[in-house]
Chains A and B, each alone.
With several copies, the nearest count.
Chain A
Amino acid sequence: MALFLTEEQVMLKDMAGPFLADQAPVKHLRQLRDANDAAGFSRDLWRRFGEMGLAGVLVPEAQGGGGLGHVEAGIVLEEIGRNLSPSPFLSTAVAAVTAIGGADAELRARWLPGIATGETVAAIAVDEGRRHDPANVALAAERSGNGFRLNGAKRFVVHGHVADLLIVAARTSSDVGEMRGITLFAVEKGAAGLTADPVRMVDSSIAAEMLFEDVEVDAGAVIGTVDDGWSLLTRTLDAGRVGAAAEMLGVGGAAMAMTMDYLRQRKQFGRLIGEFQALQHRAAHLYSELEIARAATLKAAQLMDADDPKAELMAAVAKAKAGKAAMLAVQEGVQMHGGIGMTDEYDIGLYMKRHRLLDELFGDTAFHAERVARLNNY
Chain B
Amino acid sequence: MADEEIFRAETRAWLEANCPPAMREPVTGLDDVYWGGRNGRFSSPEQQAWFEAMAARGWTVPDWPKDYGGGGLSPSETKILREEMAALGCRSPLHSFGIWMLGPALLKFGTEEQKRRYLPDIAQGRIRWCQGYSEPGAGSDLAGLQTRAEDKGDHWLVNGQKIWTSYADKADWIFCLVRTDPAQKQGGISFLLFDMASPGVSTRPILLISGSSPFCETFFDDVKVPKEQIVGAVNQGWTVAKYLLGHEREMISAMGFGSGDPSLGRDLAERLGAFANPVLRAEVALHDVDMLAFRAMSEKFLDEFKAGLAHPAQPSMMKYAGTELNKRRLELEMAAGGTDALVWGDDNAVSRHWLRSKANSIEGGTSEIQLGIIAKHILNLPGA
Task: Check A-B contact in the complex, CB < 8 A.
Answer: yes
Q: Which residues of A contact B (CB under 8 A)?
A: 2-4, 127, 129-133, 155-156, 199-202, 204, 207, 260, 263-264, 268-272, 274-281, 283-285, 287-289, 291-296, 298-299, 313-314, 316-318, 320-321, 324, 327, 331, 334-335, 338-339, 341-345, 349-350, 352-353, 356-357, 360, 364-370, 372-373, 376-378
Q: How many residues of B contact A (CB 8 A)?
A: 87
Contacts of B299 in A (CB 8 A): 3, 295, 299
CB contact under 8 A between A372 and B292, given known A4-B303, A339-B363, A344-B209:
yes
Q: Which residue on B lies nearest to A3, using beta carbons?
A: B300
- Cβ-defined partner of B300 (8 Å) among A4, A133, A377: A4
Which of A268, A291, A365, A366 has the most CB atoms of chain B within a 10 A radius of its CB? A366
Contact between chains at B334 and A356 (CB < 8 Å): yes
Does B368 contact A376, Cβ atoms closer than 8 Å?
A: no
Instruction: Say whether, besides A275-B382, A293-B293, A199 and B343 are in contact (CB < 8 Å).
Output: yes
Q: Contact: A274 with B296, CB < 8 Å? A: no
Are A283 and B317 in contact, with the CB atoms below 8 A? no
**Beyond A199-B343, A287-B317, is A132–B292 a contact (Cβ under 8 Å)?**
no
Closest Cβ of chain A to B56, distance in Å, is: 32
Chain B hits for A372, CB < 8 A: 263, 265, 285, 288-289, 292
Please tell me if the beta carbons of A373 and B372 are within 8 angstroms of each other in the complex: no
Given contacts A268-B139, A284-B372, contact A349 B307 (CB under 8 A): no
Chain A residue contacts of B382, Cβ below 8 A: 263-264, 272, 274-275
Within 8 A of A (CB), among B276-328: 276-286, 288-290, 292-294, 296-297, 299-301, 303-304, 307, 309, 317, 320-321, 327
Look across to chain B and name the residue whose beta carbon is closest to the beta carbon of A302. B296
| Cross-chain contact A284 with B374 (CB below 8 angstroms) | yes
Question: A268-B141, A369-B286 known; A339 and B367 CB under 8 Å?
Answer: no
- Given the interface pairs A314-B292, A335-B362, A339-B362, the reply to whether A130 lies near B206 with Cβ below 8 Å is no
Question: Contacts of B163 on A, CB cut-off 8 Å?
Answer: 339
Chain A residues with CB under 8 Å of B304's CB are 3-4
User: A283 CA to B361 CA in the complex, in Å?
Assistant: 18
B-to-A contact residues, CB < 8 Å: 134, 138-141, 143-144, 163-164, 206-211, 263, 265-266, 268-269, 272, 274-286, 288-290, 292-294, 296-297, 299-301, 303-304, 307, 309, 317, 320-321, 327, 331, 334-340, 342-344, 351, 354-355, 358-359, 361-363, 366-368, 370-372, 374-375, 378-384
* Residue among A156, A288, A295, A298 having the largest count of chain B Cβ atoms under 10 Å: A288
| Additional A-B contacts beyond A280-B375, A295-B301 (5; CB < 8 A) | A321-B293, A345-B206, A356-B342, A360-B338, A370-B277
Contact of A280 with B297 at beta-carbon distance under 8 Å, contacts A344-B209, A353-B209 already known = no
Q: Give the most central of A349, A350, A357, A369: most B CB within 10 Å.
A: A369
Contact of A378 among B274, B294, B367, B368 (CB under 8 A): B274
User: Given A299-B299, A357-B342, are A352 and B358 also a contact pair (CB < 8 Å)?
Assistant: yes
User: Measured between C-beta atoms, what is the minimum distance from A258 to chain B in Å?
Assistant: 13
**Residues of A contacting B: mostly:** helix
Query: Do A360 and B342 touch across chains, with their CB atoms under 8 A apart?
Result: yes
Q: Does the CB pair B334–A296 fall under 8 Å?
A: no
Report the nearest A residue to B311, measured CB to CB: A291
Q: Are A4 and B293 neighbours in the complex by a CB distance under 8 Å?
A: no
Give CA–CA (A129, B276) in the complex, Å.
11
Contact B297 A292 (CB under 8 A): yes
Q: Pick the contact of B375 from A281, A289, A335 — CB < 8 Å?
A: A281
Which B residues are CB-close (under 8 A) to A376?
A: 263, 265-266, 269, 288
Q: Which residue of A lies closest to B339 (CB)?
A: A156
Q: Which residues of chain B come closer than 8 Å to A293, judged between CB atoms? A: 293
Would you call A280 and B265 a contact (CB within 8 A)?
no
Q: Which of A268, A295, A370 contacts B293 (CB 8 A)?
A: A295
Residues of A within 8 A of B140 (CB): 268-269, 338
A313 to B297, CA, bound (A): 16
Given A130-B340, A369-B289, are A283 and B383 neighbors across the interface (CB < 8 Å)? no
Q: Which 4 A-B pairs have the closest CB atoms?
A: A349-B209, A284-B374, A130-B338, A296-B293
Contact check, B297 vs A296: say whether CB atoms are below 8 A apart: yes
**Does B339 contact A207, Cβ atoms closer than 8 Å?**
yes
Residues of B within 8 A of A352 (CB): 209, 355, 358
- A279 and B363 CA atoms in complex are apart in Å by 18
Q: Name the residue of chain B whose CB is nearest to the CB of A330.
A: B358
Chain A residues with Cβ below 8 Å from B379 are: 260, 280, 283-284, 287
What are the residues of chain B within 8 A of A342 when measuring CB–CB? 208-210, 358-359, 362
Cβ–Cβ < 8 Å partners of A291 in chain B: 297, 317
Assess the B358–A370 pair: CB atoms within 8 A: no
Q: CA A269 – CA B277 in complex, angstroms?
A: 46
When distances are taken between beta carbons in the complex, the residues of chain B under 8 Å from A299 are 296, 299-300
Residue of B nearest to A282 (CB): B371
Residue of B nearest to A266 (CB): B139
CA gap between A154 and B131 in the complex, in Å: 48
With contacts A264-B381, A283-B379, A356-B334 known, is A377 near B368, CB below 8 A? no
Chain A residue contacts of B317, Cβ below 8 A:
284, 287-288, 291
| Most chain B beta-carbon neighbours within 10 Å: one of A276, A278, A368, A376 | A376
Please tell me if the beta carbons of A130 and B337 are within 8 angstroms of each other in the complex: yes
Contact status of A378 and B384, CB under 8 A, knowing A4-B300, A129-B338, A288-B321? no
Give the distance to chain A from B180, nearest Cβ to Cβ, in Å. Answer: 21
Query: B207, A155: Cβ atoms under 8 Å?
Result: no
Q: Is the CB of A288 within 8 A of B339?
A: no
A-B contact pairs, 20 of them (CB 8 A): A202-B342, A207-B342, A268-B141, A274-B382, A280-B379, A284-B371, A317-B289, A321-B289, A321-B293, A338-B140, A339-B139, A339-B164, A342-B209, A344-B207, A356-B354, A360-B342, A372-B265, A372-B285, A373-B279, A378-B284
Cα separation A270 to B379 with both chains bound (whole Å): 21
Known A-B contacts A2-B303, A280-B384, A287-B379; A200 and B371 likewise in contact (beta carbons under 8 Å): no
Q: Looking at the complex, which one of A202, A264, A281, A320 makes contact with B368 (CB distance below 8 Å)?
A: A281
When distances are taken between beta carbons in the complex, the residues of chain A under 8 Å from B338 are 129-132, 360
**How long is the Cα–Cα vector from A155 to B337 in the complex, in angstroms?**
14
Contact B371 A335 (CB under 8 A): no
Taken together as a complex, chains A and B put the C-alpha atoms of A278 and B340 apart, in Å, by 36
Query: Measured between alpha carbons, how far is A278 from B140 in the docked complex, in Å?
Result: 15
CA distance A260 to B375 in the complex (A): 10
Distance (whole angstroms) from the CB of B344 to the closest CB of chain A? 5
